[in-house]
Amino acid sequence: MRVAVVGHVEWVEFLAVDHVPAPGEIVHAFHRWEEPAGGGGVAAVQLAKLAGSSTMFIALGQDELGRRSVEGLEAMGVHMEVAFRSDPTRRAVTFVDSAGERTITTIGPRLEAHGDDPLPWDLMGETDAAFFTAGDVAALAHARRAKVLVATLRVPELLAETGIQLDAVVGSAPDRDERYVPGAIQPPPRLVVLTDGAAGGTYRVEGGPSGTYRAAPVPGPVADAYGAGDSFQAGLTYALGARMPLEAALAFAARCGAACMTGHGPYQGQLRLVDGAEVAGISSPA
């Protein structure tokens, strides 16, 4: 399979703490690491671990963090197609508490690829499945050339103005910024999936059935929730591109999300396919 992501990357500093500091409090980080992440980067690496490689269309700052982001993601199997900007690469600081929950602060504007950037958009016509996290309307139109296109509901205004039919949209039921409002996206996406953590989630097929799916058991101790939702979305993109039946695709995506939670940072625990078999856990070069 050929898979791709049109999205965004942030250079993230992770701080493992007992708890997130309350106002005025000082806490000590007992572990620290940094690496390129963000929803697009996490999804691109997860797709690479499932398909053998992936391609990412992105904008980054023409700076040290932009260069390190390209090197880090390419080392994990992502072929980077980058439009470099004069703005700095976006950064983030993420607290990971003793329960594995992550709390994120982003720094600077998000950089994203535009459809008029001189990138090899023609590759989308050869792509089996693509995932969209960030970009403009023209970039989404390029992504639509893929056989299957899945988008995050984190960009609802963009999706509402495009007039492009999506094969699936994925959001978080508890997050007000990711909820699906029927009729807001026209034409309606063929599939809407709303995740709800350990409770599983719901799905609705346009003109067809709706229902629920179960969360997959976490295959080990919970280390870090960062990237679990993005890994789920990448897993669903891969499964739909592979033409899995819907219930099997949702179960596969759930296993991707659950596996991610066993590693520190988004990459260590991600599910990968080796000779068709699912294997959880691979070290990150952070």
pLDDT single digits (tens) 22-49: 999 999 999 999 999 999 999 999 999 9
pLDDT computed for residue 176 by the predictor = 79
Taking the C-alpha atoms of residue 149 and residue 126, their distance in angstroms, rounded to an integer, is: 13
Condensed to tens digits (0 to 9), the pLDDT of residues 115-140 reads 999 999 999 999 999 999 999 999 99
pLDDT computed for residue 145 by the predictor = 98
- Classify residue 27: in a domain, yes or no: no
pLDDT computed for residue 280 by the predictor = 82
Where does the pLDDT of residue 108 fall: very low under 50, low under 70, confident under 90, or very high at 90 and above?
very high
pLDDT computed for residue 129 by the predictor = 98
- Classify residue 134: in a domain, yes or no: yes
pLDDT computed for residue 162 by the predictor = 87
What is the share, in percent, of the chain residues with pLDDT greater than 90?
A: 90
Q: Average pLDDT of 245-252?
A: 98
Instruction: Indicate which CATH number applies to the domain containing 147.
Output: 3.40.1190.20
Q: Average pLDDT of 157-162?
A: 90
Condensed to tens digits (0 to 9), the pLDDT of residues 263-274 reads 999 999 999 999
- Classify residue 93: in a domain, yes or no: yes
- Classify residue 96: in a domain, yes or no: yes
Q: Average pLDDT of 87-109?
A: 96
What is the share, in percent, of the chain residues with pLDDT greater than 70?
A: 98
pLDDT computed for residue 173 by the predictor = 87
pLDDT computed for residue 178 by the predictor = 83
- Classify residue 280: in a domain, yes or no: no
pLDDT computed for residue 284 by the predictor = 40
Residue 228, domain extent: 3-19+32-270
- Classify residue 278: in a domain, yes or no: no
Domain count, the chain: 1
* pTM, entire model: 0.95
Q: Average pLDDT of 253-264?
A: 97
Q: Average pLDDT of 142-171?
A: 95
**Residue-averaged pLDDT of the chain:** 95
- Classify residue 286: in a domain, yes or no: no
- Classify residue 176: in a domain, yes or no: yes
Q: Average pLDDT of 191-207?
A: 95
Where does the pLDDT of residue 228 fall: very low under 50, low under 70, confident under 90, or very high at 90 and above?
very high
Condensed to tens digits (0 to 9), the pLDDT of residues 181-194 reads 888 899 999 999 99
At residue 158, does pLDDT exceed 90? yes
